[in-house]
Structure 1
């Protein structure tokens, strides 16, 4: 590796060609970043005290560390965004100067349109792709070539390349532009030129360690480079065209940039059974990839698997499902933002493609997932632990009886994971504030359109409070509600019974109920199902609000259903958990009376944390788990050594009684250990254990 400080324009002038490898991401700078570069150039060009303006580094691979007059193209590892943006600016500058009178076309020596093009944009004595100083990858390539070459833009063009070039054209075409300042500013741009020798340097490691000033790479960018960077160019081209490019196309540019990292996280959850942290997706993928390719050394099966899962994700999460029944079910999931279920659905969709499940069975599973998430939201059940719940949901399913197994799993979940019952759901619907409910639009749409072929687009309507929100109710309303009208308004205003849809919100205003009922477009004449029955009422008060809420809640129970299984079928899925071959008798350090009493007290407290906590005696330790182990007890002669399964930095331990064992071999799960003996502050140690439990639940 050789690094030197150089002017960016000198780098472009001396290099024969810079090529963005096919595994690199597409050009991604937004107009805001172009504006920042423009401002930096103007400032540098107008301030004589500034000799240079540093904009980052350019890392490129050569076959050897020859000088930049070599005819070998330089493969750019880092710096594509800066190189491309400056190229777009230089191209726009050459165009703008070319439109000036002859005597004004070179505002600074060396910055005429011809010199700009021949020094920084093209190799004038070359043909074909070698004619261009900078070659991008994918659809960016043809668009930039057209701009630099003065040709018509291609049909399938890069929107970012086109729009950013147009941005610079606009800035350069504005009245009063100081072309001399722009040229001087460009001449002051400085980069660190880092040249790598493929035979001696590891481009991937260097790429990962770069902390450039450009736009931060996504986890997906790093993954793509990791998979493709070390391959021969012909293999890169084939793998990119066969696997990666189809994934990018399926996602589309906007979704690829916004959601591909999320997809990879869900994919890794499915194939590894563990949920990587958002910031650790790349490291988790590398670990999985190295394990998956250790036997064959070929990355192609891994890419093929990733491609298959991306297709499933696009069907589930991006609206690309072709079957209408499934598409509608997936749409409901997306509307309630139930991303936590995607690992399970990726597994379900895989089995669907393999023929293990029918379309109807998949739709029923999706409906149950939607019902579970939605009921919990209405009942205000905290969402913590749902990631872990659905990461492990498929592990215990009996796939020969897939649908019944899913239902049994839902019905067997207890405590904070339990499926809200019909009475719980109905009561919450009738009493909760649904006006400020985040999923309000979805809820009303489903209520209005359930079993209806002529779908009503509720976006054409607004929410109507039948009993008005106005704190200064008219006398007519007060008479209808009774002496405690203020209490009734406060209690029922935003509840289901008092909410409906209308296209006449402004006309209804705060009028009495009978006016809203009988007016043109009133409740008597409304075509909406939500308004059925209102036209036959003579008054609106607490009784009628409660009655309507009960009726709509019954309808909701028919939409968001609870799973059902006959008792004899449920019993088949409730076989006792297989006991391990070990017991307390296999741990002699737990048998002395004082130690046994301490252990019994400890296990009693841990099992009391939640009904879902289970205990398992293993050969070397005793495990306590919910979804997975949160504390393990390693019986020792002098004490009980506790392994707490949470990051050391996440533990609040003001007495420093725990210690960090990250990276050290030890029995038990987790990176934190603490000791417990007869002289310990039992309450304090249990506080540390509770943190490990709560950390797992929160995750």
Structure 2
């Protein structure tokens, strides 16, 4: 990475850096995230080095902005050192070492605003919960059970409790002497290598270069950091809050959130490989005739599609989808298909969206029953179809161009009769058959008439149940979740058949004197033919 002027680099003691600065963690940084293993390593390293003349705590990268030092890299170490300084301060107070406590406070915890005479914290965190928790700990020397108006940061609480416990154990050797030794060490013998970045607008690039080599910076972190850092300075806090609101809908699952971002970007830009998402958005990689959205445009995209996308994940949530669309979402979830979400997102801007979604479900479910959607080329085709739908505001032609993915009816029926399918697909197909539509409005529990893992099943030859056990002919829909009775044909007819779901093929099932491979084949023929009539209506 190139910069216009050389970086100002210097080795400085922690005491001199803190005493001369007020630190802000910019919005593009991650929240405090150190776990006990990392805090333990931090403390143990310092404890072992107390008798050394110097100890190097690593590189921190700062930038000057608004009369404060913005922490581009080094947040976890600076915050953890602040927690340790707070523990030392309160131990000094409790042991009546007021002068030492005042020194720790002035060097590491608080600064005086000479214009207003206010006492300001040395370190301020962007995340409101993190910051409220940190300031509570510093001011009181204990961890909060609750903070008015804010949630408590669990990681900060755990880190402080660990540091306080370990410090107290260390001080038991000689409290007066050890307090002085610790304070002198962190003030005068603990060193950072400090880089002051000359241009705040490009400081994120330094962060990216440093952290992409680290072990725990995720794609979600990179995307958040880049988006916030590239927003206008006056709007960064608003962007941070909005990003956090959106990401929290994915329950801290960074992979699902990144998937949503990729799908939202795909609607307008077509297929983007997961590994290329960040480099495309950060303009590190160019795709022919495709311009990545700006950070503000990306945020608008994520806000626009969020209610719809959340309904795709969980159709019980409120949002813009009709009952038919919700039925399609449920069907795709049963089929465990997510590659078509960008195409569905694009279709919602078109007229007759329900008709288009039904046509898409018909196409995809036919394909899954006879084959799969597992190739990258098929995902690419759906993604490019999404882009064309977005550009033309019409879904008909792009879906027609995918029609080669659909098998012929005869092939569909033949394969469905004998193909082993997972339980989610079987549940969807069987419920659709009994409901007489590819969009069932409700799902009944599916049971295998004779489970595949049954030992020594009656009336089956060697290997027959293993072959036929997970095919459609060996399934049954019931209104009860739990299997009733014993696993034999007589019990099934007398106990389970009376619990049949509406539309179930009871007459056919009761006609079999025993349940064997031939019975499964006959039932499968009837069910597959019925499915063919529904899917190819």
> What TM-score, normalized by structure 1, do the two folds share?
0.60
Q: Structure 2 CA distance, aligned partners of 1:158 and 1:558?
A: 56
Gap runs ≥5 in structure 2: 1-6
Q: 1:92 touches 1:169 (CA, 8 Å); kept in 2? A: no
Q: Structure 1 CA distance, aligned partners of 2:110 and 2:435?
A: 61
Shift of 1:334: 4.0
Q: 2:33 touches 2:155 (CA, 8 Å); kept in 1? A: no
Q: Structure 1 CA distance, aligned partners of 2:156 and 2:135?
A: 14
2:64 alignment partner in structure 1: 62
2:258 alignment partner in structure 1: 261
- Paired residue for 2:359, among 350, 359, 368? 368
2:497 alignment partner in structure 1: 524
Q: Structure 2 CA distance, aligned partners of 1:261 and 1:128?
A: 46
Q: Structure 1 CA distance, aligned partners of 2:451 and 2:251?
A: 43
Cα 1:247–1:47 shift into 2, 3 Å: closer
Shift of 1:513: 0.9
Cα 1:447–1:40 shift into 2, 3 Å: farther
Matches within 5 A, 1:665-680: none
1:594-639 Cα deviation digits (max 9, x unpaired) = xxxxxxxxxxxxxxxxxxxxxxxxxxxxxxxxxxxxxxxxxxxxxx
2:420 alignment partner in structure 1: 433
Q: Structure 2 CA distance, aligned partners of 1:52 and 1:229?
A: 35
Q: Structure 2 CA distance, aligned partners of 1:198 and 1:372?
A: 53
1:277 alignment partner in structure 2: 273
1:470 alignment partner in structure 2: 454
SS state at 1:340 partner: coil
2:523 alignment partner in structure 1: 548
Matches within 5 A, 1:170-319: 172-173=164-165, 177-179=169-171, 187=186, 190-198=191-199, 202-211=202-211, 216-229=216-229, 233-237=233-237, 240-241=238-239, 245-252=241-248, 254-255=251-252, 257-273=254-270, 275-287=271-283, 304-305=300-301, 307-309=303-305, 313-317=309-313
2:462 alignment partner in structure 1: 486
1:636 alignment partner in structure 2: none
Cα 1:299–1:169 shift into 2, 3 Å: closer
1:102-143 Cα deviation digits (max 9, x unpaired) = 44x87xx95x6x655553233366889962221122434344
- Paired residue for 2:382, among 371, 390, 400? 390
CA RMSD of superposed structures (Å): 4.7
Shift of 1:494: 2.5
Does 1 or 2 have the higher relative contact order (CA < 8 Å, sep 6+)?
Answer: 2
1:141 alignment partner in structure 2: 131
Cα 1:454–1:93 shift into 2, 3 Å: farther
Q: Structure 1 CA distance, aligned partners of 2:464 and 2:106?
A: 80
Q: Structure 2 CA distance, aligned partners of 1:125 and 1:397?
A: 58
Shift of 1:59: 1.2
Q: Which is higher, the Rg of structure 1 or of structure 2? A: 1
1:41 alignment partner in structure 2: 43
Q: Structure 1 CA distance, aligned partners of 2:279 and 2:112?
A: 44
Q: Structure 1 CA distance, aligned partners of 2:456 and 2:45?
A: 59
1:643-696 Cα deviation digits (max 9, x unpaired) = xxxxxxxxxxxxxxxxxxxxxxxxxxxxxxxxxxxxxxxxxxxxxxxxxxxxxx
Q: Structure 2 CA distance, aligned partners of 1:10 and 1:261?
A: 40
Q: Structure 2 CA distance, aligned partners of 1:372 and 1:401?
A: 20
Count of residue correspondences: 506
> What TM-score, normalized by structure 2, do the two folds share?
0.75
Shift of 1:73: 1.1
